[in-house]
Amino acid sequence: MTKLKPRMPHIRPQVAGIEEQQILAVSRLALGDPSVIPLWYGESDIPTPQFICEAAAEAMRAGETFYTHKRGIPELRQALAGYMGRLYGRDVDVERVSVTSSGMTAIMMMLQCMVDPGDNVIIVSPVWPNAQSAVRLMGGEPRYVTLDPGGNGWHLDMGKLAAACDARTRAIFVNSPNNPTGWMMPAGQLAEMLALARERGIWILSDEVYARMVYDRPAAPSFLEVAEPDDPVIVINSFSKSWAMTGWRMGWLVHPPEHGDLFGNVIEFNYSCVAQFLQRAGVTAIEQGGPFVAEMLSHCRRGRDIVDSRLPRLKGVTDYRTPEASFYAFFRIDGVTDSLGYARDLVRGAHVGIAPGTAFGPGAETWFRLCFAQTEDTLNEAFDRLEGALGTVG
């Protein structure tokens, strides 16, 4: 008797049709292979410092392994409110703070709140790929306003951004400091975007996870410096970058106080709460982690110096600009039109993994991203290999 193949039940087309994240398409060729130098992901090679790990371990030993407050334990929310108040010189009420299981989860939840099928979200690009995919998962349309590369660095045309908005625009998503370009939105443009959002009744989703990865000031300009508590602004942040906690998956939101209970319900229906022992580690990171943040920034500055001296010497490399923030080099290679295919070839041939520009939205297809938050020895070895693959200038 012939066994009939079961008829598969329905999967939403927005999910069934989602494309593989193209950084993953490169990394899965050699993830975990010790012969490959992995510069594809946005993380440092520094492990989470022991004083943060010990705080989590101590909380587990103390039995803090049960359900807890869905918006975050009071101690962490208060620590975050105080931290941001000190950083930006404006009081942040604790009722505006909600703890999330990663910055990405925060983005996804906010889109769940805002986007119906057929709505659109304006995305300033190039941009981290997961944000644009999250819009598609909700049945929304990503509309891209592309940063313009220029001699003095990247620039956002606010006229183009305003023109891209229409009656179905629910949010503007902006990541500053920017992954992958290192662009940092000037304070004047923050105010201009806020005025547009107020006038049109559009949310601003401001991804500020690289706020401390800045090389000429304590922190990047933030919407928390220009917006009032009841403005249509959601600031998204994460423990991942500044405190070397990428694998911990913990972030936070700053939102209008009136939305706290609503967002708390959305948290409840997504993951109930962030593990309490992780949150204890978050308190420790905020209260004791200042010296480590400075150490991380110094680590990245050394990496940027190596990139500045060695990347422009590679044959064919063009359009590299020293990033003013974040920890990425963004550049082109002459003659390369298929960045995904070329990145795969570099993994196989040079045993160096970099991210293809195709991951970062329209206008970035011929670009590449390299994460320089690595040790000097690692970066120099990577450039030695890249020189062998590409050659050098002169």
Domain spanning 13-48+291-390 has what CATH number? 3.90.1150.10
**Sequence ranges of the chain with CATH classification 3.90.1150.10:** 13-48+291-390
CA nearest 220: which of 303, 325, 293, 302? 325
Contact 370, 342 (CB under 8 A): no
Contact 182, 325 (CB under 8 A): yes
Contact 76, 282 (CB under 8 A): yes
Cβ neighbours of 77 (radius 10 Å)? 23
Tokens read off for 271: 């993951």
Quick one: DSSP state of residue 247? G
3-class DSSP assignment, residue 157: coil
Radius of gyration for the chain, computed over Cα atoms and rounded to the nearest angstrom: 21
Contact 171, 155 (CB under 8 A): no
**Sequence ranges of the chain with CATH classification 3.40.640.10:** 50-289
- What pLDDT score does 325 carry? 97
Question: How far is it, in rounded angstroms, from Cα 334 to Cα 18?
Answer: 30
- What pLDDT score does 394 carry? 62
Question: Long-range CB contacts (< 8 A, 24+ apart) of 159-166?
Answer: 161/122, 161/124, 161/193, 161/196, 162/196, 164/122, 165/122, 165/196, 165/200, 165/202, 166/120
Please give the angle made by the CA atoms of 355, 359 and 361, to the nearest 5 degrees: 140
3-class DSSP assignment, residue 363: coil
From first to last of the 394 residues of the chain, give the pLDDT tens digit.
677 788 889 999 998 888 888 899 999 998 889 999 999 999 999 999 999 999 999 999 999 999 999 999 999 999 999 999 999 999 999 999 999 999 999 999 999 999 999 999 999 999 998 999 999 999 999 999 999 997 778 999 999 999 999 999 999 999 999 999 999 999 999 999 999 999 999 999 999 999 999 999 999 999 999 999 999 999 999 999 999 999 999 999 999 999 999 999 999 999 999 999 999 999 999 999 999 999 999 999 999 999 999 999 999 999 999 999 999 999 999 999 999 999 999 999 999 999 999 999 988 999 999 999 999 999 999 999 999 999 887 6
Pick the CATH number of 50-289 from 3.40.50.1100, 2.130.10.10, 3.40.50.970, 3.40.640.10: 3.40.640.10
